[in-house]
Amino acid sequence: MSPRDASGTIVFTDLDGTLLDYDGYTWAPAGSAVRELLRCGGSIVFCSSKTLAEQHVYRRDLGIRDPMIVEDGSAVVIPRGYFPERVDLGVQPWGRAGNCDILVLGVRRHLVLERLRELRETERIALRGYSDMTSKEVQEMTGLDEGAAGRAGTRDFSETVHVEGGAGEWRRLMGALEMRGLHTFGCGPTGTVVGLGADKGRAVELLASLYGRAAAGRGAGRTPPLTVGIGDAANDVPMLRAVDRAFLVEKPAGGWADVEVEGLERVKGVGPVGWSRAVTGLLAAQGLLP
């Protein structure tokens, strides 16, 4: 099998707190499992709030060549030529970044920023976004190093904001955003604002359909891929509900996020440790480990 063999295993994975830990954002505990999955012909699709610039770094370091879902499902990024030309992408590409086609499900960032400016003026909600902060401020807010903070700020379809004033102001923000065709995830006071069309689950379904059509186009006997989702938090639920098998890794404080997903498998191990256990278990069950 090759990484594009749709009869293989397609792992859709969150990054922060899942494939990456929160202490240094390292994937090292999962490195061996990543290599085994790729060696066996599986694919790894990042499905994260992280930007294209951020995800490119981790793909390069891990040797991954598969598509990406960026900025909380705002866009699907597909390496050019990854799928056969006869496979209809189903969404008109917005454009290209390097050697990739970009399929936009949300909205462009300039529209998000325009609506946030309007919201500040009309609703008087005290908020600051990455675009209002210096690189040093983003570093202090996120704990990222200078290079990573710069990549986090290189957004194409969203804006991360911090709201002052407590839970009431956060709820007011959510209502005001929806009236303007936007939404955000989480419970505040910090969250990423995206277009209403941005959805991890929708993005996963789109890619799973492309993998399936590619398999069908290669002839009789080809079966659709086994789709797998691995996450750690409530904002991963749409992704986890869109796959055949869903895994949840432990949180740093212990235990698992309180989420409802049919058939969800809770894995012992925090972040990349749990990720590794989920993937090696899958490969062992398929008889793919040496």
Catalytic residues: 14
Amino acid residing at 198: A
From the list 202, 208, 213, the residue with the least C-alpha distance to 245 is 208
Q: What are phi and psi of 132, to 5 degrees?
A: -95, -10
